[in-house]
C-alpha cells in the first residue's frame, strides 16, 4: 500500500507547484520546471509535449520524465555551451487538436529552439504541417511505421522495418513460415502490417491473414477464433493503446498458446509488469530498448535505469520511447555545441553531419555501444533487441544486433541535405507484396 503515500506526495507536489505558479503570476514564464529566466542569452528553450493524461498517458508519461532527466543532467553539468536549458512543458492530453494548439504556442509564443512532441503517428501527422510551415526543428521519438523524410523532422525512434526486421526472421526460423497479423486500425498499424508482408516475402514466409482492430475495441473473442481457424505458426501483433492490451489476457484465458512477435507490446506499456502471467508468455518484442535490456550503461551500477528511478522513485517503468527522448536530447546538445549556436538551420546542419553517441564519452546510449544519427534521412541506426517473456513474465534478451535504417536511405533514396523535402514514403510505393 505504499503507492498511496507516494501518489499523495505527487499530488501535493503538483498542486503545490500550481499554487506557487499562480502566486508568481506571469513573471516566471510558464511550466513548473522553468529555470531562471533573467537573461535569455544565457539560456535556451526546449519544448516537451508528451501525453500525461488520456489514452496514451501510460506510454507518454515516461517520455516526458526521461526528457526532464536528460535536461536536468545537462543543466547540472553546466548546460549546453554554458547555457542552461529552460523547458516549455505541457500535457496535450492525448488530443491531436490540443497538440496543434500547443505546437503553435511553443513555436510562436515560446520560441522554442527545439521541440519534442507526440506519441502516436496520428499526432505526428497532425502537427507536422505546422512544424514545416514554421521551419521548426522537431524530434519525433516514438517507434513508428517509418518513411518520414522531412527536412525539419528527426524521427529518431526505430522504424517498423528495424523492429519487425529483427523479430520476424527470428520467429520464421524458430517456429515456421505461416504468419497471422493483427494490427491497430490507423496509419501506424496499416503500414506496419504492410511491412510484415514485405519482410515475410524477403524471408520466404507467408501471411495467412490480417485483421485491423479499431482503437476503441477491447473484446477479442472473434479475433482469437479467427487465429485458431487459420492456425498460423506465429502471430505478428501491432496492437496499440490501453484497450488493445486486453487481447493478451483474453488470448491467454482462451487457451490460445502461440508465439507472438510484436513491435508494440511490453517495451512501451510494460504489460509484463501489469498483467499476471502467463498472459505475455512467449511474446517476442523487437525493440531498441526496454528497461530490461542488459547493457552496462543501462542496468549497470549508476546506469540509465538507476538514474531514472533516482529522479522518479515512484515511476512504474522505464519504456522504449523514454530512452529515445533521453538520448535525442543529448544528440541535440552535441549538435548545438558543434554548431556553436542555437540558430535552428545551423543546428540542423550539425545534426545532418552525423552525430554519434557512445558509452565511452558519456552514458547516453543505454541500448548499445553507440547510436548513430544518419544525416541523410534524419533516422537512427539502432541497436535492436529481441526480448522474450516467459510464463512468470521474466524478460530475457534472445538476440541483438545493429540494424541500420534502410528503407529511406536505400529504397526510397531520401537524402535531405541534398534534396530537402517533407514527404512520408510508404512501402506500397516500392513493394508489390505490400499492396
Partner 1 sequence: MVNGINLALQFLDSFAFIVLAAAGLAIIFGIMGVINLAHGEFILIGAYTATLAVTQLDLPLVVAMLVGGLITGLFGVLTERVIISGAWPNYVSQRTLGRDIIEPLYDRLADSMVATFGLSLILTQGARIRFGNSINQIATPFGAISYGSFSYSTYRIVLAGVSIGLLLATYYLFTRTDFGMRARATIQDKETAQAMGVNTDRMYMLTFGIGSALAGLTGALFAPVISMQPTLGDQFLVEAFVAVVVGGPSVVLGTALSGGVLGAILATFSNLYGTFIGRIALLVAALIALRFLPEGITGFLEQVRKRRQESE
Q: What is the smallest separation between the CB atom of 259 and partner 1, expressed in angstroms?
A: 17
Q: Where are the alpha helices (DSSP H) in 105-159?
A: 121-133
Nearer to partner 1, 77 or 219 (CB): 219
Q: What is the smallest separation between the CB atom of 303 and partner 1, expressed in angstroms?
A: 24
Nearer to partner 1, 97 or 253 (CB): 253
Q: What is the smallest separation between the CB atom of 223 and partner 1, expressed in angstroms?
A: 6
Q: What is the smallest separation between the CB atom of 13 and partner 1, expressed in angstroms?
A: 11
356-379 burial, b at 16+ Cβ within 10 Å, e below that, comes to ebebeeebbbbbbebbbbbbbbbb
Nearer to partner 1, 68 or 279 (CB): 279
DSSP class of 65: H
Nearer to partner 1, 109 or 231 (CB): 231
Residue 54 backbone class (left: φ over 0; alpha: ψ -120 to 50; beta: rest):
left
Q: What is the smallest separation between the CB atom of 99 and partner 1, expressed in angstroms?
A: 18
Q: State how far Cα 174 lies from the chain centre.
A: 28
Q: What is the smallest separation between the CB atom of 266 and partner 1, expressed in angstroms?
A: 14
Q: What is the smallest separation between the CB atom of 255 and partner 1, expressed in angstroms?
A: 3
Residue 219 contacts by C-beta under 8 Å, 6 or more apart in sequence? Answer: 246, 250
In angstroms, rounded to a whole number, what is the distance separating the alpha carbons of residues 407 and 434?
A: 14
Nearer to partner 1, 14 or 398 (CB): 14
In angstroms, rounded to a whole number, what is the distance separating the alpha carbons of residues 63 and 4?
A: 23
Nearer to partner 1, 31 or 269 (CB): 269
* Structural contact between residues 75 and 85, judged by C-beta atoms closer than 8 angstroms: yes
3-state helix, strand, coil in the chain (%, to 5): 40, 20, 35
Strand partners for 372 = 356, 381
Phi, psi torsion values for 50, nearest 5 degrees: -135, 145
Residues that bind partner 1 (CB under 8 A): 1, 3-4, 7-8, 10-11, 14, 53-55, 57-58, 61, 185, 211-214, 216-223, 225-226, 228-229, 231, 242-246, 249-250, 252-256, 269, 273-277, 279, 316
Alpha-carbon distances of 75 from 84, 267, 278, rounded to whole Å: 6, 28, 43
Q: What is the smallest separation between the CB atom of 133 and partner 1, expressed in angstroms?
A: 33
In angstroms, rounded to a whole number, what is the distance separating the alpha carbons of residues 394 and 277?
A: 9
Nearer to partner 1, 36 or 257 (CB): 257
Nearer to partner 1, 275 or 311 (CB): 275
Which residue's entry shows cell 556553436?
Answer: 340
Environment class of residue 105 by beta-carbon count within 10 Å: exposed (0-12), middle (13-18) or buried (19+)?
middle
Amino acid at each position: 500500500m505504499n503507492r498511496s503515500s507516494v501518489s499523495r506526495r505527487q499530488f501535493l507536489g503538483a498542486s503545490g507547484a500550481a499554487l506557487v505558479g499562480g502566486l508568481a503570476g506571469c513573471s516566471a514564464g510558464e511550466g513548473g520546471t522553468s529555470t531562471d529566466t533573467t537573461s535569455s542569452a544565457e539560456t535556451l528553450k526546449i519544448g516537451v509535449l508528451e501525453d500525461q493524461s488520456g489514452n496514451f498517458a501510460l506510454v507518454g508519461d515516461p517520455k516526458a520524465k526521461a526528457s526532464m532527466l536528460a535536461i536536468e543532467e545537462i543543466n547540472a553539468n553546466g548546460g549546453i555551451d554554458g547555457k542552461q536549458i529552460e523547458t516549455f512543458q505541457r500535457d496535450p492530453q492525448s488530443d491531436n487538436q490540443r497538440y496543434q494548439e500547443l505546437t503553435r504556442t511553443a513555436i510562436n509564443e515560446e520560441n522554442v529552439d527545439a521541440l519534442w512532441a507526440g506519441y502516436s503517428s496520428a499526432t505526428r501527422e497532425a502537427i507536422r504541417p505546422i512544424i514545416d510551415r514554421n521551419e521548426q526543428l522537431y524530434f519525433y521519438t516514438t517507434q513508428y511505421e517509418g518513411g518520414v523524410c522531412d527536412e525539419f523532422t528527426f524521427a529518431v525512434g526505430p522504424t517498423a522495418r528495424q523492429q519487425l526486421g529483427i523479430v520476424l526472421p527470428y520467429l520464421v526460423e524458430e517456429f515456421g513460415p505461416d504468419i497471422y497479423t493483427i494490427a491497430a486500425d490507423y496509419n501506424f498499424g496499416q503500414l506496419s502490417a504492410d511491412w510484415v508482408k514485405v519482410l515475410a516475402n524477403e524471408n520466404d514466409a507467408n501471411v495467412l491473414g490480417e485483421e485491423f482492430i479499431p482503437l476503441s475495441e477491447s473484446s477479442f473473442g472473434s479475433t482469437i477464433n479467427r487465429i485458431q481457424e487459420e492456425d498460423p505458426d506465429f502471430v505478428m501483433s501491432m496492437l496499440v493503446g490501453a484497450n488493445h492490451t486486453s487481447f493478451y489476457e483474453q488470448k491467454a484465458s482462451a487457451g490460445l498458446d502461440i508465439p507472438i512477435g510484436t513491435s508494440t507490446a511490453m517495451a512501451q506499456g510494460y504489460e509484463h509488469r501489469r498483467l499476471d502471467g502467463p498472459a505475455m508468455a512467449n511474446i517476442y518484442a523487437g525493440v531498441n530498448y526496454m528497461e530490461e535490456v542488459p547493457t552496462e550503461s543501462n542496468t549497470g551500477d549508476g546506469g540509465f535505469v538507476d538514474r531514472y528511478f533516482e529522479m522518479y522513485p515512484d515511476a512504474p517503468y522505464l519504456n522504449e520511447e523514454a530512452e529515445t527522448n533521453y538520448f535525442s536530447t543529448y544528440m541535440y546538445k552535441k549538435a548545438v555545441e558543434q554548431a556553436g549556436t542555437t540558430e535552428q538551420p545551423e543546428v540542423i546542419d550539425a545534426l545532418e553531419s552525423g552525430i554519434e553517441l557512445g558509452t565511452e564519452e558519456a552514458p547516453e546510449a543505454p541500448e548499445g555501444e553507440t547510436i548513430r544519427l544518419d544525416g541523410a534521412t534524419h533516422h537512427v541506426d539502432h541497436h535492436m533487441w529481441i526480448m522474450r517473456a516467459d510464463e512468470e513474465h521474466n524478460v530475457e534478451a534472445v538476440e541483438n544486433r545493429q540494424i541500420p535504417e534502410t528503407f529511406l536511405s536505400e529504397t526510397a533514396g531520401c537524402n535531405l541535405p541534398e534534396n530537402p523535402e517533407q514527404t512520408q514514403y510508404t512501402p506500397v510505393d516500392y513493394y508489390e507484396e505490400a499492396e
